[in-house]
Structure 1
Amino acid sequence: MRIRPAGPEDAPAVAALLAASWQDAYAALLPAAVLDRMAERILPEWQALLAAPPGIVLLAEKDGEPLGVAAIWLRGEEAYLDSLHVAPGGRGGGLGRHLLAAAMREAIAAGARRAALRVIEGNAGAMRFYERLGARPVAEETGEVAGHPVRLLRLHVDDLEALAAAG
Structure 2
Amino acid sequence: METLTIRLAIPADAPAIAAVHCANWRDVYADVLDPAYLAGPIEEDRRELWQDRLASPSRWQSVLVADLPGGGLAGFICLYRDEDARWGSLVDNLHVVPGLRGRSIGRQLLRAGAQAMLMGKASAPGLHLWVFEGNIAARQFYARLGGREVERCLETELPTPPETFILRVFWPDLAMLGA
TM-score by length of 1: 0.91
Aligned pairs for 1:1-167 within 5 A: 1-37=4-40, 38-54=42-58, 55-62=61-68, 63-75=70-82, 78-112=88-122, 113-144=125-156, 146-148=158-160, 150-165=164-179
Task: State the superposition RMSD in angstroms.
Answer: 1.7
Which piece of structure 1 moves more, 129-138 or 142-151?
142-151
Alignment gaps of 5+ in structure 1: none
Contact 2:32 2:160 in 1 (8 A): no
Contact 1:19 1:39 in 2 (8 A): yes
Which piece of structure 1 moves more, 90-99 or 135-144?
135-144
Structure with bigger strand share is 1
Inter-partner Cα distance in structure 2 for 1:144 and 1:42:
18
Contact 2:33 2:158 in 1 (8 A): no
TM-score by length of 2: 0.85
Inter-partner Cα distance in structure 1 for 2:121 and 2:178:
13
